[in-house]
Amino acid sequence: MDMTIRSRRLRSTPVLRKMVRETRMDASSLIYPLFVREGENVKEEISSMPGQYRYSLDRMPEVLNEMADAGVTSVMLFGIPDIKDECGTGAWSEYGIIQKALRKAKKEVPDLYYITDVCMCEYTSHGHCGILSGDRVDNDKTLPMIAKIALSQVQAGADMVAPSDMMDGRVSEIRSLLDQHGYTDVPIMSYAAKYASAFYGPFRDAAGSAPSFGDRKDYQMDYHNRLEALKEVKQDCEEGADIIMVKPALSYLDIVRDVRNTVDLPVAAYSVSGEYAMIKAAAIKGWIDEDQMICETAAGIYRAGCDILLTYFAKEIAGFMREGRIG
């Protein structure tokens, strides 16, 4: 048999396979989501996310230094307040949990890059992502509150803000208020294509942010829809978003690729709590090779077109990149 083309030639050695690898990644593209809470000397494991913890502010520098030592340079902070109210006022308080965490983090571990989630669900007594009018979130009443939260976080030291509320017009509202106060260089990473997903379950357990009634399907996207994602992305780009995020990741790789092919901005994907929990649960049962599964899923997300990956496996993935197993 005379075969001129043999695709296996380029798979013959580890050096050659890495030389011709199409998908490249490094630890600088990883963001670690971190839960901070009130209290002292607290490192509390999240039952639905084995290996992930809620940290009090005095214990927070431990995990920040772990990330820095692993080569993970960026962290996204999620706050868990002691007190909630109807309007989520703790989200923009100067003495709110995120604002205090930012000041401490910037002082204790100043070399990391700090991103903040901008939303109200952790802070409202009803668990929804905005101001209620009856039993619905009022989009236009919520917008100034979302912008106010973003401003308070930047004033406390946030390097980037990431609105996750899915209100129409939020990126424009945030950009305008930040610019008015002189924060023209602070980027916005928009949760542009955020789907109403069952994969968020463990996060809501971790952050205590499940809605007390109804669901979030009238502001988060229907998972049947593909073109709608591009509509949302286009709107956020026009309003001034600097980075576009798709959330969740694994079940939405087609959306990641669509967005990558559509925009000229960096594309982020959030591998969410349910994705993490599935891998951990199967690994605990001995049904999968955890390390191999982490590597394969991460590579798949990047291969789909992601430039930036938010993941609870950030430290592990950084290690695998350093070892040359992926990247």
End-to-end Cα separation, the chain, in angstroms = 36
CA–CA separation, 99 and 93 (whole Å): 7
- Active-site residue identified among 100, 194, 280, 315: 194
Whether 247 sits among the annotated catalytic residues: the reply is yes
Residue type, 31: I
DSSP conformation letters of 22-33 = S----GGGEEEE
State the Cα–Cα distance between residues 151 and 182, nearest whole angstrom.
10
Handedness of CA 298, 221, 167, 274 (dihedral sign): negative
Element (H, E) at 176: helix 170-180
Dump the DSSP string for 224-258. T-SHHHHHHHHHHHHHT-SEEEEES-GGGHHHHHH
Q: Is 100 a catalytic residue?
A: no
Alpha carbon 51 to its chain's center:
18
List 84, 100, 104, 247, catalytic entry: 247
Q: Which residues are catalytic?
A: 194, 247
